[in-house]
Structure 1
Amino acid sequence: MPPAVPLALLETPRARTRLRAAFAARAATAGARTANRELSILTAALSWWREQGWLAGDPAAGLRRVAVAEPRGGSGLDARQVRAVLDLPVPLREKALWHVLHESGAAIERVLALDVDHLDLPARRTREHGDTALRWGDGAAGLLPLLVLGRVRGPLFATSRGRLSYRRAAEVFTAATRPLDPRGHGWTLRQLSAPARG
């Protein structure tokens, strides 16, 4: 059954213009990270609705994420710290996520928005969907096939309830890295995805 939202409104001639204006307004009031996260949710929903045949076009085509300014003190981890993080004994989902983030240098929101069918595992990259492809190295290349084993669609980084949220991913990472941080606070996913220092 189609969702109880007026999908026909998304196929009107003004839908694309209205979505652009709404996204710009949301970014201005809620911030770039929130707007980007909501854009990822919207584009995933639109993609699924198109697959179901409920929408013919893509009213969000051409919408691009807003650049996010790095917070002060948000510099990347050094090479020793990155190695310590990637060596932590954590579940496969977290280990694969951390490797993809570090090796691709991509925005966390973009990585969390990936679906299984976005991956081109032999080529170690994502299939292009308007954005430039994400590429990863040996660590993620060894882990991703294990993570997607038996799955052909759905969120790449999933929970029992659906897609792994940024908030939950950040909480798990900070808690896991607290023992490694000399200050005892734990590090952030943004520090992991930033280029390594040294």
Structure 2
Amino acid sequence: MHWQSGTAQLLPRLIAGRTRGPLFLTDRKAPSRTPTLDTCPTTGRARLSYRRAAELFEYQTRAITSPNGQARGFTLHQLRHAALTHDAESGTSTPMLLARSRHSTARSLERYARPGVDAVASHVAHLDPATRRRAPGPS
């Protein structure tokens, strides 16, 4: 797993000195049938499920999507989509986008790699030979 610097700086607070066990935990003790790898050895709490993580993320982002908190929040899929879209807009190569998204074909990336108008304008300006000639050379 690879983390950007902002996330990496927050991880020590989340880990809080723990050296093993799942990182995102439920609020309650794990049932006895829960596999050992899915249980925190210190607290006995279970690993947070993807479904519950999605519910929490959506709930916590309601204030962002609607001032009164009535609208639905963002989904984890939208978060993933936004990250891949920003990567594509910043010029990340298709092989890197495939590796990061864990998709197997470039066709599956089409829904994410839809650069906005500003990204396309920046790309065209960057490649414009007239612009490059006008740029000051090294001193």
Larger Rg: 2
TM-score (norm. length: structure 1): 0.30
Identify which of structures 1 and 2 has the higher relative contact order when contacts are C-alpha pairs closer than 8 Å and 6+ apart: 1
TM-score (norm. length: structure 2): 0.41
